[in-house]
Structure formats: C-alpha cells, structure tokens
Amino acid sequence: MGRILFRFSAAVSMLFALTAAGFAQGAATAPKDIVIANNANFVSLDPQDTNDNISFSAEKAIYQGLLGFDKDMKLVGVLATDWVASPNAKKFTFHLRKGVSFQDGTPFDAAAVKVNIDRLADPANKLKRHSLFDQVEKTVVDNEYTVSVYLKAPFGAMLNNFSHPGAMMISPKALQDYGKDIFKHPVGTGPYLFKDWVTGDHLTLVKNPNYWGGPVNYNSITFRSIPEDGTRVAMLQSGEADFIYPVPTEQLQVLAGQGGIVVKHDPTVGIQYASMNTMKKPFTDIRVRQALNYAVDKDAFIKVVFNGIAGTATSCLAPNTRFYSPQTPYPYDPAKAKKLLAEAGYPNGFETTLWVGTMSVSIKAAQFLQQQLAMVGVNMKIESLESGTMANKIWNVADPKDATIQMYYGSWTPSTADADWGMRPILGGTMIPPKGYNTAYFQNKEVNADIQAGLDSADVATRKAAYEKAQKTIWNEAPWIFLSVPQNIYAYKDSLQDVNLLPDGTLSVYSLN
Amino acid sequence: MLKFLGRRLLGLIPILFFVSVLIFLFVHLIPGDPARLLAGADASYSDIAAVRSRLGLDKPILAQYLSYVSNMFHGNLGTSFRTGRPVVSEIGDRFMPTLLLTLVSMLWSFIVALVVGVISTIKKDKWQDYTVRFGALSGISLPSFWLGLMLMQLFSVQLHWLPTVGFNSWKGIILPSLTLGSGIAAVLARFTRASLQEVLQEDYTRTARAKGLAYNLVIWKHALRNALIPVVTMAGLQFGYLLGGSVVVETVFSWPGEGRLLIDSVGFRDYPVIQGEMLLFALEFILINVLVDILYAVLNPQIRLE
Amino acid sequence: MSSPLPPASPTDAGPAAPGRHSPAAEFWRKFRKKKVGVASGLFILLLLIVAVIGPSIAPYPMEKPDYNHILAGASFAHPAGTDEFGRDIFSRILVGTRISLWVGFSSVFLGAVFGTFLGLISGFYGKWIDTLIMRFCDILFAFPGILLAIGIIAILGPGLGNVIIAVSIYGIPVFARLVRGNTLALKASVYVEAATTVGAKNGRIIWKHIFPGTLSTIIVYFTMRIGMAILTASSLSFLGLGAQPPTPEWGAMLSNGRAYLNTSPHVVIFPGIALFLSVLAFNLFGDELRDALDPKIRD
C-alpha cells in the first residue's frame, strides 16, 4: 500500500516535470524517421514468448530467424543459407550465414542457434512458442556454421516452424545477462535496434549501423498503438503517421481519393466461417449443413460486410496456404436450400443461436447471416459475447455432450501458413474443445487419417495428396458455412518504401533478399 | 480537524483490506480463463497449459488468494499476466497521463460551469439563460466518441491545427480534455444553477438583499458560497470517476491512461492488473470523499465534521 | 402532464407532492407559465407516444435488408436514408424510441430508488450507518463501471434487461451521495431542528421534512441521468455488451454507425439527432420542473 501512496505523490510532482517536458518537445520529424500506427499494444519483445502479430511486427525488425517468409509468404533463407531435411522428416540440417553478429557484438554461429533451439524446446521455460519445437529431441552443433535439429517423431511441416517469427534468434549473451527481462531488452541480428518503449503509447527502434545486410532505410521507426479505427485514418490524413494498419473497409473511400496516399489490400492466409455443431441436431444431418451453404449469398456477404474487400472461400484453407486445393463453390440457391431442409425434415426451418465476438465487423457478418437464413426459414438468434465469456462457454466443456455451442462465427489464421495448422486445430478429430478449436465438433475418420498422413511425412507429393483429399471431404461434409478469405488492408504515404504487411498479419519493415 | 483527518485515514486500512477481498472474489467470479486468452488465438493445448502453470493459475484458489494477500503486504501487487512487468509500474506509468487529463478537464469545466450557472441565474428565463444552458447541455447530449471523432475531423484533419493523438506535446491534450470536460461542464453547470436559485430563496440571502446590498454582490458573496456544496459533491464524484480513466476518450485519442489499461486487462483477464487498478480507484475515491467532506465544512460552518 | 415524472422514492405515490402546502394544482399553475418547460414536456409526451405506436407507424419492417440500396442518403422513400444493410433508418429510429426510453427510464428509476433510500438514511442517522453506507457507495464507485457491466453481463448473459441492471447500478452511489449531502444540510436547518424538538418521529421527519428538500436535486439528476443512461448503454453497445442485433437501440445505431462517420454521415446523424433532442428535452424539462416543484420558490 505504501508503494501506491508513494506513486500517488510522486506522480503529482512528476506531472509538472512532464508538462514542462511536453512544452519543450516539438512535432518536428526528419523525413527518415517514420511512424507506424497499428491497432493494439505491444506485449513483449521476446519473439519466443510472443503470440500476437503486433509484437511480432516490431520483433521482426530487431530479430531474424534461420528461415523466413518473403512478402509473398514464400520460404526463404535468412540466417541460414541452405538447409536439408531427411526423407523421414526427423532430421533438419542448416548451413549458416557467415560474418553475422548480434547487435551486442556476439557472433552468430551454430552454438548460438543451439542455445535458442534448446531454450524453445525446453518445456521448463514455459515459453508461449514452445509448441513449435516440442517435437525436438536434440540440437547438435556439427561445426561452427552447421547445425542439425533432430525430432522425436516425423513432422513434415517443421520447416514452416523454423520460419515462424517465434523461432527468431536471440543473442545468447543477452539471454544470459537479462534472463527473464529479455522481453524488454531485445538483442537480435536485424536492421533495427531497440531504443525505448512506453507501454500503451509508443515503441521506438533506431537504425543498426552494423547490420550485415547493408544500409538500412530509416533512421528510426516509431510504432504507435491507436485502437480506434477513425483515429488511425485521421493520423495518416493529417500526416502524423506514415503507415497505418489495419484500415477498416468503411474508410477505404476516404483514403483512396487522397493524393500522396497509397491504399493496398492483399489476401491473408485466414479463412472466415460459421461453424455448425455437427454433434447436435439439426446439424447432425449433412443436408441441413449443405442447405445453409446454399442459403448464403457469399458475393453479397463480401459486398455488404467487407465493402467488397475479401475473397470467396473456395476450400477450408485460404489460397495462400500451402497445399490449398480449390473446390466447387456452393452457389447461392435458396430454393435448393429449402428443398434440402424439407428433405431433412425441416420444411419450416428451425431455431438456432450463433455466437459471435464483439468486433463490429463480426457483428455485421452475423447480422448478414441472420438475414440470409431468415429467407429459408431458419431463425438464427445472435449472441455477441465478450472474448473471456466466449472462451469460457466454448472451452469450459469437458464432455462434447454438454456443449451448448450451436453455431459460431469465427476466423482462423494459421501462423505457419501450412495446411496442417490450417486444418488440424479447427477440423481435426483430436481437436474438439477443450483440446482445440474444432467448434463444429467435426469428427471424420477419413479426414483424420489424411491429416495424420500429412503430418507423418516431409515428402511434398505425399503431403499434397493427403491434404487435397482432406479438403475435398471437408468441403462436401460442410461442417461450416464457408464464407470468405479476409484481406489485410493498409495505407501509407507514397514516399514510403519496403514496408509491407505480410499475409500472416505481421509487418515487415525491410526487404529480405 | 487534524483528529478527523487522522481518524479517516486510519479508517482506510480496514476498508481497503475489505475492498481487496471483494475485488479478488469479483475478479475471479467473472467467467474467462486468463491462460487461454493470453496464450493467443491459435495456441495449442500444451501452450495453454504452460501459460496456466507459469501464471500459477493451476494452484488452488486459496493459494492464489494467499499469494495475492502476501504480495499486497509487501507493497507490491504482483506481476502482470500479460506483460510480465510489475503491476505497480504498469499502473504507475499510466497514472500521470490520466491525472494530467483529469486536472485539465476538471479545471476548465469547473470554471465554465460556474460562469454558466451564474449567468443563467442572473438572467433567469431570459434568452441568455437559455443560450448558455443549451450550450452546456449540448455537451452532455452527445456520445463522447462521436464528439471526439468530430473534433478530430475538424481540428486535425481539416484545419491541421491540432494533433489527432499525442501525449507528447501540450497541443495533444486540448482535444481529449475538450471531449472529456464538456460532459462534466454540463453536469456542474446544472448543479450550480439549481443550487444558486435555491439558495437565493433562503432567508439570509433575502435579508442581505433587503439590506440593500447590490444584487451581484449578494450572488457572489453569500449565495455562491452556499450553493457550492452540491456542486463540490458533484465535482468530487466526477474527479474520482475521471481518475479511473475514461475508456472512450482514451481510446479515441489513444491516450495512454488507466482506462485503456483497465479495458485491455479485462479483455485478457489480467487479474493482477485489474486488482491493482481497482484498489487504486478505491483509494482515490475514499481520499476524494474525505476531501469533499472537509470542503463541506469549509463552505458551510453549520456542518460539523463528526 | 404529470405522467412523465416518475416517483422518486418507493413510498412516493404521486408525482406532484412537493411538500405539505403545495397541492398538484399549485404546481400546475406555476409550471404552465414556463414555455420551454411545457415545450420539452410536450416533446417527451411525443416520444412516449412514438414509443407506444412506433412499430406500427414505421414505413418498413426495421430488420428488412435491401442489399441494392446500401447506405443510400435521405430521400422520399427513405426519409433518413438506409444503413449498411439497406434497412430504413427512419423506421429503425421509430422502433428504437421505445427501447431507448425504456433503457433510460427503468435503469435510472432503479438507481434512484435505491440511491435515495440509502442517502436519506445515511445523512439522517449519521454515525456508523453513514460510514457503512458511504463506504458501500465508495466500493460501488471504485468498481469501474465497465468491469461491473462485464461482470454482470458475463454472469447473467447478454441482453437488454441485464444492460438495464448494469446501468442502474452506476446510479445508486451517485444518488446516495447527493441525497446525503442535501440531507446533511437540511438536518442542520431550522425547521428540521424545530420538528425534532417537538418530538416528531424520525421516519416522519425524513419523509415530511427532509425528503421534499432533496426532491429538487433528485429530479434534476433523474432527468439528466436518463440521457446519460442512454449514452452509457451506447458505450456498452460500443463494447459489444449492449442490445443484441438487430435491436435498433439508438446507442447501438450510433456506435455501429461511427464507422461511416466520414463516408455516409446520415447513418449516425439521424439517430444522433433523435438522441440529442431527447436528452435535451429531458434536461430542460427537469430544470423547469424543479423551479415549479420547489416549495421554497414563490412567485
């Protein structure tokens, strides 16, 4: 309690100091210093203990991994120049880039890689990204610039895990020096150095003069958290921000007509859907599930909800995901929907409830679905639930029979951009709540087998075949109303270079090549 | 007076303890699993379990309560689930911005309220009365997010006079405090007017007027002083309320204050931060109430401090 | 004319009971001279009528979408334009009148009843009762409204009824503190002291001498809170905790519409005007009512 009282009086006296400082500061910014406005607060600067894209965005300017994604989500070498996977998908060997050092001068070598992979693989560290490396048996330093990682079981998608931002390399010396506080003292090999971080306000990075990749574009980058959509747009318009994301679709029009501002939108690796609890009536009947797919006009959905800025879902995976294979869309056909419902024994429709989060665009989507389903006689009630409440209602259910979930509107963005993480957690039979995110309670033997087959192999052709089959079955079984592929929408001053929002939702502030 | 103060401040300790128990219970009653929310949108089951055990949420509730109490006695409120930083510094960092915004908003709205209250009393039922009242009431008839966004559109985007956001320059406080203060000004002006008119009907002001004192002097010297009692109560309430941070204004203007911290923490069920915030608000309120009681006595000697 | 004035205490049967010596006729004689008061009263009456018949006079069903006329501006077919689903905004405002007024009235009423009761007791009896009630109020205050709302709605479930409960709890400590402040002053005043000397019972003193004196404060704050309650409900909608879609509660219309503030402003302007005028009417009406109700003000 004493501390609080102290804070109280200290704050009062500091208030005056702050006001004085505030007057002294001007708004003058040199052209080489840029401001990026995003919608949430930074949580951590330890990539191995991060799970939000906002934090990853800043971390990716400071740190680098062995592998990475370029702006088209293609796997590229960053700190590794080349790599070999054993045919059984159990051993992965990397040849490292020479002459790279961390920002604190520590050389980057095989020993440094081992320190990082060991840190990630050790469950005792309780890192948020441990699961990317929980299959690692051991990491072996072959020589100064070669390192091999051995897995306990075959895992075909492992290279995607290495390219995940959660697998970026931290200076072993910094890990030693800062211990648990590494999250606020980041030291990596990237082009930008950490300068300061005022929680809830801003985070500033400055140029790394010794960057191995050559000259760095900007003297400094300041990230600001601006939660209100309209405010971010206003900041770009008034020149206070150089790059803003996300841009709400409703505001596109305002920015598009303004000179000197570029508005861009690219497809993400995400997918939007309305799941139906396949263990509960009436959704146990495949005809009902297909009927609802025919009942929703996806083009109108995209036009009304996303102002036309979204793609139509053509599988349970987004086209940017590895091993995506397109399916024949369910056309908008309310008559057919009614016929299927009648065949299933619901000529007058039925009543159901859809759970949705509290974001206004999600509620808009839910309302659209409500309107569409009403036309085929399905009376869908909307329950908009705050995130914690929703989590409880979905995952505090031990026995599937006790689940109260009927329909759920959600989206899924596999951060590895691979088919495995794109399907298994949301449609895999082992992943029904509370284990995973399979809100449709979808359990299909063939799909489960295909997913397992894809997991057990590192052979591209084998994996491709397995995932193609799985996608086909899922599409036909229709555990979801397949809706849309969201887009990343961002806007920036046309003078800006090399700042890109990647399909996985993280920002890249320099080009990898 | 000193004795009164001492007793009130001593009385704080059991109250705060009681409040802290209530807070703990309430926070844990709200549905929602912090581990799942913190682990992120696509965390695996084992990730979530790891987070849960790291946060100590796998321990029995009694053990969690004991560690909360023991933290409290050590003058530390634990560490944030979300950022791993001490709660004291999480809350401390947000305190100055909130206090600054609160003080500036209170100051201008109190002055405006007094002026409006007095004008509309002197010119009661005349056009001046209705004009100032319409002006004041408009401030409270608009949702603050709407007012804030409109002000921003006008002064930042169109006219380029003021920054849209910015805790880092003095200009940055103008729009948020205008948005926040307009509602308060309206409330306080209402109370000033109502209270002044009431006091003017009372015997002693009528006596004063009968004695031939100039009308304006009566208002300023006698009436205003007595009329201030409900106004001060209201201002105290508003002040305490504002110190809790305004979620809407802080969100619209990206002001790094307590309100945004609270709403973010609630979203993630960051128990230690929520508990710390609530404890701080409780303390602020109780202190302000003591202050209001003292002001009562200063303004009206008829009221004795018990 | 007296119908919009809600009883301000659980035992208060009639609206126009300002004091021993002022019957309803006296109040009406004074009130009808106040043009702004009568005008705002009439506007509130109109709102009440719309609240009753709104759904039946609305030109379109409020939930009917028209995807070919999304965000259309005001026209003869749609006097207030259409929203993001092509729904008629004018119809939604008409239907929403009932919902918004209901949220405003019922939540403030609940808060006022409990708050006034607590405030009277606290101010009059003083000592430990006062301490207890005021600390209780402090605790209620210290619970940030948003957190309280999330808690209540998480436990009881989403929906309008629970929004009303959440908003009413905001009001309890406010009324309690204000009424207590007045009670303290009144207790020290001459006529209460006289009554105490004569030996009147406490209940009677509170009811006959103190409560009427606090009434003007209660009324002023009651009318103002109605607007605030509607706005609070709108910020709950803004957090996704308000009325569930497609309910056309004005606050929800405003907070959902803010995304179109600079592209299709009519989406927020018309519900905004409805909200603005209603709140203004309640506030002005409260002022004028106070002038006419206060037993100490003579003309």
* Cα–Cα nearest to B108, from B151, B73, B139, B76: B139
Calculate the CA B117 to chain-centre distance.
22
Over residues B44-85, the pLDDT tens digits come to 888 888 888 888 888 888 888 888 888 887 777 888 988 888
Residues B16 and B151 in one domain: no
Give the CA count within 13 Å in the CB-facing half-sphere of A146: 6
Boundaries of domain holding C45: 27-59+88-293
Question: Interhelix angle for B174-200 vs B87-122, to 10°?
Answer: 50
Biggest alpha carbon–alpha carbon distance for chain C: 77
Count CA atoms within 13 Å of residue A259 on its CB side.
0
- Please list every residue in chain A whose beta carbon sits closer than 8 Å to the beta carbon of residue C240: 357-360, 363, 384-386
CA distance A474 to chain B (A): 20
- A317: number of CA atoms within 13 Å, CB side? 27
Of A254, A370, A384, the CB nearest to C240: A384
Query: What residue type is A181 in one-letter code?
Result: D
Q: Are residues B112 and B203 in the same domain?
A: yes
**Looking at residue B270, which CATH number applies to its domain?**
1.10.3720.10
3-state secondary structure of C72: coil
d(CA C250, CA B147): 16
pLDDT for res C56: 86
pLDDT higher than 80, residue A139: yes
Which of the listed ranges A41-45, B196-200, B201-205, B233-237 does the model predict with the highest average pLDDT? A41-45
Is the distance from CB of B181 to CB of B204 less than 8 angstroms?
no
Asked if residue A199 lies in contact with residue A206, where contact means CB atoms within 8 angstroms, the answer is no
Q: Which residue from B minimizes the CA distance to C257?
A: B146
Out of A233, A304, A363, name the one closest to residue C240 (CB): A363
CB-side neighbour CA atoms (13 Å) of B289: 28
Q: What H or E segment, with its residue span, contains residue B215?
A: helix B215-218
Domain boundary among B72, B88, B122: B72
- Residues of chain A with Cβ-Cβ distance to B72 below 8 Å are 1
Among A225-229, A372-376, B204-208, the minimum mean pLDDT is found in: B204-208
More reliable by pLDDT, A373 or B21? A373
DSSP character at residue B222: I
Query: How do A91-96 and A202-207 pair as beta strands?
Result: unpaired
More confident: A136 or B189: A136
B32 touches chain C (CB under 8 A): yes
Number of compact structural domains in chain B: 2
CA atoms in the 13 A half-sphere facing the CB of B117: 30
pLDDT digits 0-9 by tens, A307-326: 999 999 999 999 988 899 99
Cα gap A132→A152, rounded to integer Å = 13
Q: How far is C167 from chain B (nearest CA, A)?
A: 15
The confidence band for A121, taking pLDDT boundaries of 50, 70 and 90, is very high
Considering CB atoms only, which of A4, A199, A389 is closest to B32?
Answer: A389
Structure tokens at A176: 């030693």
Do the domain assignments include residue B87?
A: no
CA distances for B36 relative to A40, A267, A390, A438, B102, angstroms: 18, 28, 11, 15, 35
Q: B305 touching C, CB under 8 A?
A: no
DSSP string, B37-77: HHH-TT--HHHHHHHHHHHTTTS-HHHHHHHHHHHHHTT--
Are B19 and C142 within 8 A, CB to CB? yes
Q: CA nearest B22 in C: which residue?
A: C139
Residue A81 in tokens: 């120049």
d(Cα B53, Cα C40) in Å, to the nearest integer?
A: 60
Chain C contact for A85 (CB, 8 A cutoff): no
Distance between CA atoms of residues C246 and A502, nearest Å: 35
Token pair recorded at residue A466: 């397995």
Q: Considering CB atoms only, which of B143, B194, B302 is closest to C231?
A: B143
Chain B nearest-CA residue for C174 = B237
- To 5 degrees, how large is the angle CA A224–CA B92–CA A35? 10
Burial readout B23-33 (b: 16 or more C-beta within 10 A, e: otherwise): bbebbbebbbb
Return the pLDDT at B42: 74
**Beta carbons of A387 and B267 less than 8 angstroms apart:** yes
Looking up tokens 């302007």 gives: C269
Contact C255 B143 (CB under 8 A): yes
Q: What is the pLDDT of residues A403-450, one digit of tens each?
A: 999 999 999 988 778 899 899 999 999 899 888 899 999 999 999 999
Closest in C144, C279, C290 to B278, CB measured: C144
Predicted confidence band at A344 (pLDDT cuts at 50, 70, 90)? Answer: very high
Which chain A residues are Cβ-neighbours of B153 within 8 angstroms? 234
Instruction: Give bridge partners of residue A151 from the DSSP assignment.
Output: A136
Nearest CB to C150 within list A364, A366, A386: A386
pLDDT at position C299, please? 33
The whole-number pLDDT of residue A446 equals 95
Beta-carbon contacts of residue A207 (< 8 Å; ≥ 6 apart): A191, A192, A193, A216, A218, A219, A220
Do B254 and B165 reside in the same domain of the chain?
yes
Q: Is the pLDDT of residue A329 over 90?
A: yes
Chain A residues near residue B167 by CB distance under 8 angstroms: 22, 201
Residue B205, pLDDT score: 65
Contacts of A400 (CB under 8 A, 6+ apart): A279, A432, A433, A441
Which of C60, C62, C63, C67 to mutate to probe the A interface, most A CBs <10 Å?
C67
Instruction: Identify the DSSP state of A510.
Output: S
Q: What is the largest CA-CA distance in chain A?
A: 75
State whether residue C66 sits within 8 Å of chain A by CB: no
pLDDT of A470:
96
- The CATH code of the domain that includes C92 is 1.10.3720.10
Among A5, A3, A26, A38, CA closest to A490: A38
Please give the biggest Cα pair distance in chain B. Answer: 84
If you compute the radius of gyration of chain B from its CA atoms, what whole number of angstroms results?
A: 24
Rounded to whole angstroms, the Cα distance separating A197 from A219 reads 17
In B, which residues are within 8 Å of C238 by CB distance? 145, 248
Note which residues in 5-34 of chain C have CB less than 8 A from chain A: none
Q: What are A328's two structure tokens?
A: 């024949």
Query: How far out from the chain centre does Cα B267 lie?
Result: 21
Both tokens of A39, joined, read 């919608």
pLDDT at A275: 96
Note whether A192 and A208 are within 8 A (CB).
Answer: yes
3-state helix, strand, coil in chain A (%, to 5): 35, 20, 40
Please tell me which of the candidates A2, A131, A436 has its beta carbon nearest to residue B75: A2
Chain A interface mutation, best of B157, B161, B273, B277, highest count of A Cβ atoms under 10 Å: B157
Same domain? B278 vs B159:
yes
What SS3 class is residue A65?
coil
Interface partners of chain B (CB pairs < 8 Å, 3 or more) are A, C
Q: Are C85 and C65 in contact (CB under 8 A)?
A: yes
How many angstroms separate the CA of residue B14 from the nearest CA in chain C?
A: 11
> Is C13 part of any domain?
no
Q: CB of B230 within 8 Å of any CB in chain C?
A: yes
Report the amino acid identity of residue A28: A
Q: pLDDT for A7-50, tens place per residue?
A: 433 443 433 343 333 333 333 333 589 999 998 888 889 999 88
Same domain, B65 and B130: no
Mean pLDDT of A279-292: 95
Contact A199 B83 (CB under 8 A): yes
Nearest to B253 among A126, A231, A413 (CB): A231
How far, in Å, CA of A134 to CA of C97, rounded?
57
- C-alpha to C-alpha distance for A69 and A76, rounded to whole angstroms: 6
Sign of CA dihedral A122, A123, A125, A127: positive
User: Is some CB atom of chain B closer than 8 A to the CB atom of C141?
Assistant: yes
* pLDDT values of chain C reduced to their tens digit, one per residue, 299 residues: 333 333 333 333 334 344 445 556 777 777 777 788 889 899 999 999 999 998 888 888 888 888 888 888 888 888 889 998 999 999 999 999 999 999 999 999 999 999 999 999 998 888 899 988 987 887 777 677 767 777 788 778 788 888 899 889 888 988 998 899 888 888 877 667 777 777 777 888 888 778 887 887 787 778 778 877 877 887 777 667 778 888 888 888 888 888 888 788 889 889 888 988 888 888 788 777 777 765 444 33
Residue A209 Cα distances to A57, A220, B23, C185, angstroms: 20, 12, 50, 71
C156, closest residue in chain A (CA to CA): A389
State how far the Cα of C231 lies from the Cα of B246, in Å rounded to an integer.
14
Give me the number of domains chain C comprises: 1
Cα gap B245→B180, rounded to integer Å: 10
C63, C154, C244 ranked by CB distance to A386: nearest:
C154
Choice between A95 and C5, residue whose per-residue pLDDT is larger: A95
Question: Does the beta carbon of B303 lie under 8 angstroms from any beta carbon of chain C?
Answer: yes
Burial of residue B51, with CB atoms counted within 10 A of its CB: 0-12 exposed, 13-18 middle, 19 or more buried = buried
How close is the nearest chain B Cα to the Cα of A87, in Å?
26
Of B15, B141, B145, the CB nearest to C276: B141
Specify whether B11 is located in the same domain as B143.
Answer: no
| Nearest-5° Cα angle at A349, A347 to A350 | 135
Task: Find residue A140's DSSP bridge partners.
Answer: A148
**Residue in chain C lying closest to B31 (CA):** C154
Closest partner CB to C235 (pick from B241, B248, B278): B248
Say yes or no for a CB contact (<8 Å) between B130 and C254. no
Residues in chain B: 306
pLDDT digits (tens, 9 = 90+) for A237-280: 888 899 999 998 888 888 887 888 999 998 888 999 999 999 99
Report which residue type is found at B264: D
Residues 158-187 (B) with a CB less than 8 A from some CB of C: 187
Q: Do B217 and B252 lie in a common domain?
A: yes
Distances (CA, A) of A384 to A203, A301, C247: 33, 19, 12
Chains that touch C (3 or more CB pairs under 8 A): A, B
Classify residue B83: in a domain, yes or no: no
Cβ pair B42:A413 closer than 8 A: yes
Q: Chain A residue closest to C64 (CA)?
A: A371
- On chain A, the residues whose CB falls within 8 A of the CB of C84 are 304, 364
Instruction: Determine, yes or no, domain membership for B43.
Output: yes
A174 contacts A183 by C-beta, under 8 angstroms: no
Q: Is residue B24 one of the residues assigned to a domain? A: yes
Query: Is residue B271 a contact partner of residue B28, using CB atoms and an 8 Å limit?
Result: yes
Size of interface B-C (CB pairs under 8 A): 146
As a whole number, mean pLDDT of residues B253-261 equals 88
Nearest neighbour of A230 by CB, restricted to C70, C241, C258? C258
Find chain B residues with C-beta within 8 A of A27's C-beta.
163, 166, 169, 171
Q: Side-chain half-sphere of B282: how many Cα atoms within 13 Å?
A: 24
Kindly write down the DSSP assignment for every residue of B218-262, as one continuous string. Answer: HIIIIIHHHHHHHHHHHHHHHHHHHHT--HHHHHHTT--SHHHHH
Give chain A's domains with CATH numbers.
16-259+497-508 (3.40.190.10), 271-485 (3.10.105.10)
Interhelix angle B271-299/B224-243, rounded to 10 degrees, is 170
User: In this structure, are B58 and B155 located in the same domain?
Assistant: no
My answer on whether B283 and B192 are in the same domain is yes
The answer to whether A391 and B37 have CB atoms below 8 angstroms apart is yes
Q: Do B220 and B261 lie in a common domain? A: yes
- How close A385 comes to chain C (CA, Å)? 7
Is omega for the bond preceding A172 within 30 degrees of 0, making it cis?
Answer: no
- B152 in the same domain as B33: no
Which residues of C are less than 8 Å from B207 in CB distance?
none
Q: Which residue of B has its CA nearest to A423?
A: B42
The whole-angstrom separation of Cα A283 and Cα A378 is 12
Same domain? For B27 and B172 the reply is no
pLDDT score of A465: 95
Give the separation between CA C157 and CA C147, rounded to whole angstroms: 14
DSSP string, A116-127: HHHHHH-GGG--
Chain A positions touching B94 (Cβ under 8 A) are 200
Q: Find the radius of gyration of the CA atoms of chain C.
A: 22
Write out pLDDT tens, residues B266-275: 888 999 998 8
Q: Domain limits at B31? A: 2-72
Residues of C in contact with B91 (CB under 8 A): none
Per-residue confidence at B1, pLDDT binned at 50, 70, 90?
Answer: low
Confidence of residue B159 (pLDDT cuts 50, 70, 90): confident
